[in-house]
Amino acid sequence: MRILGIETTCDETAAAVVGIGFDGRGEILSNEVLSQIAEHAAYGGVVPEIAARAHVEVIDRLIARALKKAGCTIKDIDGIAAAAGPGLIGGVLVGLTTAKAMALVTRKPLMAVNHLEAHALTARLTDGVGFPYLLLLASGGHTQLVAVRGVGDYVRIGTTIDDAIGEAFDKVAKLLGLPYPGGPHVEKEAAKGNPERFNLPRPMQGRAEPNFSLSGLKTAVRLEAERIAPLTQSDVADLCASFQAAVVDVVVDRTRVALRAFRDIAGHPTALVVAGGVSANQAVRSGLQRLAVETGLRMIAPPLHLCGDNGAMIAWAGLERLRLGLIDDISAPARARWPL
């Protein structure tokens, strides 16, 4: 079985072909990603109209390239999956409409995939993990702790009441004058800094409900930065290190609480899984790895090239759905909001 996956929900245009190998495990046959970072950098964030236009300009070429690199033509494909949301609606429409047109013309099944579900199932593509598992989904738009009980069977245990974790990284980067998107830059600066120089808050730490709140932490960074301005390079590094340390403490604490709640909802987890753009962060990974050891669980984080948005995760989610007969018809809507 081979599935074409298309991703256009934010600022990455992506297309991939994923199949099933002889061992029954997922196999990425091609995975093409074109980032629009350069187009949006001057604005300090993603501009929806620019994103939608940029997707239109490259999507056909990118799909052709993904098929070619996978060594196949559209005839060899068993189904076409596209992210149908949540995301910037103009961009979602580009990918979904392209997939619908291809499915109509070729009479192949269409899978309108939830982008968050695709992040959630990536660990099954890379590591073949079985259900149920606890997922921390941490990206630029979402922060969720989820009990993943099966394909399409998700119970949200916790979420953020304000900023997403990636968004907090991006906002801290912006206020410290670092480029967009800020997460990787904050991580790089943090590696050079002293995480103990600034005594930043750990919002929600110790609370019984496994929710997050990050806007207060971001404000605390801003107040410290204003207090010591003008900032030297080492001030920026120390602020980044202190911020990242606070985020990791909060992530580990909130995930520990979610693990307790998980047992009532889904029994014993097979693994602790982290996904989404922020899962590229080594400090976050190490913190969760420590928690996994402490709780006797396996920790699974996608390889770096599958942490951010990509087509392989959409193709894989489509493959999982097709195997269960979960196909969509041409009326499947593009959705700006679509909770798991």
Catalog residues that contact ligand KG4 under the rule CB under 6 A. 10, 139-141, 166-167, 169-170, 181-184, 187, 276-278, 280-281, 308-309
Q: Is 139 in the site for Zn ion (CB under 5 A)?
A: yes
Q: Which does 160 bind (CB under 5 to 8 A by kind): Zn ion, ligand KG4, none?
A: none
Was 187 annotated as part of a binding site?
yes
Decide whether 278 or 322 has the Cβ nearer to ligand KG4. Answer: 278
Total residues binding Zn ion (CB under 5 A) = 2
Was 40 annotated as part of a binding site?
no
Q: CB of residue 110 vs ligand KG4: minimum separation in angstroms?
A: 22
- Subset of 268-297 contacting Zn ion (CB under 5 A): none
Q: Which does 187 bind (CB under 5 to 8 A by kind): ligand KG4, Zn ion, none?
A: ligand KG4
Q: Is 224 in the site for Zn ion (CB under 5 A)?
A: no
SS3 of 337, please? coil
Whole-number Å distance between alpha carbons of 328 and 109? 7
Whole-number Å distance between alpha carbons of 239 and 224? 8
Name which of 128, 164, 5, 141 is nearest 78 in CA terms: 5
Was 183 annotated as part of a binding site?
yes
Q: CB of residue 201 vs ligand KG4: minimum separation in angstroms?
A: 19
Can you list the alpha helix ranges (DSSP code H) found in 1-114?
Answer: 37-41, 48-69, 89-106
Was 167 annotated as part of a binding site?
no
Token output for 182: 């800020």
Whole-number Å distance between alpha carbons of 276 and 159? 14
Torsion of CA 228, 230, 235, 240, to 10 degrees: 90
Residue with tokens 């003008």: 230
Over 134-164, what HEC string results? EEEEECCCCEEEEEEEECCEEEEEEEECCCC
Residue with tokens 């989404």: 276
Q: Which does 235 bind (CB under 5 to 8 A by kind): Zn ion, ligand KG4, none?
A: none
Q: Which does 224 bind (CB under 5 to 8 A by kind): ligand KG4, Zn ion, none?
A: none
Question: Left (φ > 0), alpha (ψ -120 to 50) or beta: where does 107 sit?
Answer: left
Q: CB of residue 103 vs ligand KG4: minimum separation in angstroms?
A: 24
Was 234 annotated as part of a binding site?
no
CB 171 within 8 A of CB 240: no
Q: Is 117 in the site for Zn ion (CB under 5 A)?
A: no
CB 77 within 8 A of CB 108: yes
Decide whether 92 or 129 has the Cβ nearer to ligand KG4. Answer: 92
Was 26 annotated as part of a binding site?
no
Q: Which does 189 bind (CB under 5 to 8 A by kind): ligand KG4, Zn ion, none?
A: none
Was 138 annotated as part of a binding site?
yes
Decide whether 109 or 308 has the Cβ nearer to ligand KG4. Answer: 308
Q: CB of residue 139 vs ligand KG4: minimum separation in angstroms?
A: 3
CB 250 within 8 A of CB 202: yes
CA angle 217, 88, 67 (to 5 degrees): 115
Was 140 annotated as part of a binding site?
yes
Whole-number Å distance between alpha carbons of 94 and 236? 39
Q: Which of 163, 309, 320, 328 binds Zn ion (CB under 5 A)?
A: 309
Residue numbers belonging to the annotated binding site for substrate = 137-141, 170, 183, 187, 281
Residue numbers belonging to the annotated binding site = 115, 119, 137-141, 170, 183, 187, 281, 309
| Residue numbers at the binding site for Zn ion (CB under 5 A) | 139, 309
